[in-house]
A and B are shown apart, each in its own frame.
Chain A
Amino acid sequence: MSARPPLPNPIRAAFTGGEHEGTTVVNIGPSHPATHGTVQIVAELSGERILRADVHCGYLHRGFEKECESHTWHNLIPYVDRLNYCSALINDFAYCEAVERLMGIEITPRCRYLRTLLAEYSRLADHLTCTAAMLMELGAMTAFLYLVMLRDYIYEHLAAVTGARVTYSFGRVGGLANDLPDGWLRRLEEILREYDVFVGRVHGLVDRNRIFIDRLRDVGVLGAEEAINWGITGPVLRSTGVPRDLRKDTPYLAYGELDFEVPVGIKGDNYDRYYVRMREMDESVHMIRQLVDLLPPGPVSVDDRRCTLPDKRLVYTEIESLINHFKLIIDGPQVPAGEVYTAHEGANGELGFYIVSTGGGVPYKVHVRAPSFVHVGAIHRMLEGYQLADLVPTFGSVNMIGGECDR
C-alpha cells in the first residue's frame, strides 16, 4: 500500500475532549455492530459513564429524494421499499396512498383489507428483527435464533406472494401488483401458530430474566413530554405511557373496523420499549386473524385506466389498451398538480410522505418524514448519564433503520 494522504474525516465532532478533567472522548463509530453500521456516536466518557454524546448519522444517505425526481411514480416504488427495509410493505402502502389521494382514486375493498393485512404482517417482521437484534446484542443468541427463524418463515411466505424476501415492491398506485396465490392463507395460519410457540419461548427466556431486567430496567429513560418535544412517535413514544397510535387516532385503510389495543409502557425505559414491541406483535397477529376472516373477494387493483395497467389479453388485442399500457409504463401515471402529506403508522413511528406534483408522470418532490431520523436526533437524551455498555440496548430498542434515517 503506497503511503497515501491521510483519509479525510467526514464529520466535525461537537467536542473533542479536554473541557473536563479526566474524561476521554471516544468514537462508537459508523462501523460498529451496535450502531447498525451507519451511525457514529462521539461520546465523552468519565470512566465508563457517558457524559455527553454527539450523534452523527448520514452514512447511508443514498439520495432518495434526488432519485425520485428522475423516475416516474411507479418506477420509484423500489426506492420507497429500501427506506425502512425491515417493513418495506408499510412504506409502499403509505406512498401509494399519498399518490392515490392526489389522483383522487378509491382503492377496492379487497385491496384495502389486503394492504392492512400485509402491513401488519410486515410490522410483525420488523418488530421480530428489532427485538432479535437487540437481544442478540445483549448476548441472548437462542432468542435471536428463534426470532430470526420465525422471521425467515415470514420472508419465504411473503416471497410466495410478492416474489422477494426483503424488498417487495408490491404496492402499485391504485392497487397491488398481484393477488394472493391459493394456499397462502393456510400457510399464514401455520406461521401464526409457529409464532405463538416461538415468541412464547422468547418470553420465557427473557421477560423475567435477572440479567435482562438489570440491563434494561431504568436504563435509557425518557419522559413523555420530552419525547413529544423531540418529535418521537411510535413504540418509543408509547413506551413512555402516551397511547398515541395513528392506527387508532386517525384510522386509515381498514384499521377503523379492527379491534386491537395500543400497548403502552410505564417508565419509558429499554424494558418498556422491548415489552411494547412484543405486545404490539401480539396485537398484529390478533389483527391479522381478524383480517383473514374479513377479506372480501373481488379485484385487487382498481379498474381505472389512469393508473392501473390494462389486462394483458386486452393489450395484445386492442390498440387503445396497448397505447394505454405503453403510456403508463413510459410516462407513468399522470398525477394532477398539487401537494399532499399522508402519514401511516410505520413500525418505528409516524412515516409521512409529503409529495408535490406539478401534474406529470414524474414527481416534483417526494419527501419522507422518517421516524428513525427524528429518533437519532433525540437518542443522545437516552444515552447521557448511563454506562457505555447501556448504549447497546438503548440503541437497539430505538430500532434506528439506516435506510429510513438517512434516506
Chain B
Amino acid sequence: MSVGVHDRVAARWGAQALEVADSHGTLAILVEPARLAEVARSLKDEFGFNLLLDVTAVDWPERTPRFDVVYHFYSTRDFVRVRLKARVPVDAPVVDSLVPLYNSARFAERECHEMYGIEFRGNADLRPILLYEGFVGHPLRKDYPKHREQPLVPYRK
C-alpha cells in the first residue's frame, strides 16, 4: 500500500540522499543538485511518480547554499506524494531541468527561474512567464523590496 512506496523509495535512495524525512505524510528527500535528475528519473520510472506537481524554491539568505529548489511529485497509481529538495548556492544556482521527463516542468521552471533566478540546464525556453520583458531582479527573493515597482507605462502628471 502507500506506506510501502515511501519505505521502498527511502530504502532505495536512503544512502545517497543527504536527508530523508517524513513531513506530515509526504516523504521529503534532500539530495545534491547533481543527482537531482537521476533521482527524478528513478522516481518516475521505478516508483510510478508520473505527475510532477510543482517546482518552486525557498530563499534562505543567511544560509550558505542559499536556495532550496523544491519539487513535488504525485503517483496516480499509489496516491502518494514525494518532495524532492536540492540546495544550490547563490553564485551558481544551476539545476538540471526536468523537461525531458515531465512536460509540466516547462511553465513551472519558467516561473521559478524568473522569481528566484534559478537556472535550469536543458530548458531552452526560460522567458518570463508571470513577469514581463525587461523586469530587472527576482521579486520573490527576500532582498527584493516588496514595493519596488517597475512600471511599463509612464504615469500621468
Q: A contacts B directly in the complex (CB < 8 Å)?
A: yes
Chain A positions near chain B (C-beta within 8 angstroms): 4, 7-12, 14, 56-58, 61, 63, 65-67, 69-70, 101-102, 228-233, 242, 244, 249-250, 338-343, 350, 352, 354, 356, 364-365, 367, 369, 373-374, 376-378, 406-407
Q: Is the beta-carbon distance between A354 and B133 smaller than 8 angstroms? A: no
- Residue-by-residue, is B115-157 near A (CB-CB < 8 Å gives 1, otherwise 0)? 1000000000101111111100001101000100000111000
Residues of B within 8 A of A (CB): 23-24, 26, 28, 50-54, 56, 58, 70, 72, 74, 76, 79, 81, 83, 102-104, 106-108, 111, 115, 125, 127-134, 139-140, 142, 146, 152-154
| CB-defined contacts of A56 to chain B, threshold 8 Å | 129
Q: Closest approach, in angstroms, between the C-beta of A370 and any C-beta of chain B?
A: 9
Contacts of B131 in A (CB 8 A): 58, 61
Contacts of B58 in A (CB 8 A): 356, 364-365
Chain B residues with Cβ below 8 Å from A8 are: 133-134, 152
Query: Judging by beta carbons under 8 Å apart, are B23 and A354 in contact?
Result: no
How would you classify the secondary structure of chain A's contact residues: helix, strand, loop or mixed?
Answer: mixed
CA distance A232 to B79 in the complex (A): 15
CB neighbours of A338 from chain B (8 A): 23-24
Q: How far is the CA of A56 from the CA of B128 in the complex (A)?
A: 9
A229 touches B50 (CB 8 A): yes
With A9-B133, A12-B127, A242-B76 as given contacts, are A341 and B26 in contact (CB-CB < 8 Å)? Answer: yes
> Which residues of chain A are near B106, meaning CB under 8 Å?
377
The chain B residue with its CB closest to the CB of A340 is B24
Q: Are B132 and A11 in contact (CB under 8 A)?
A: yes
Q: Which residues of B contact A67 (CB under 8 A)?
A: 146
- A352:B54 contact, CB within 8 angstroms: yes
B130: contacting residue among A339, A367, A377, A407, CB under 8 A: A407
- In the complex, chain B residues whose CB is within 8 Å of the CB of A374: 104, 107-108
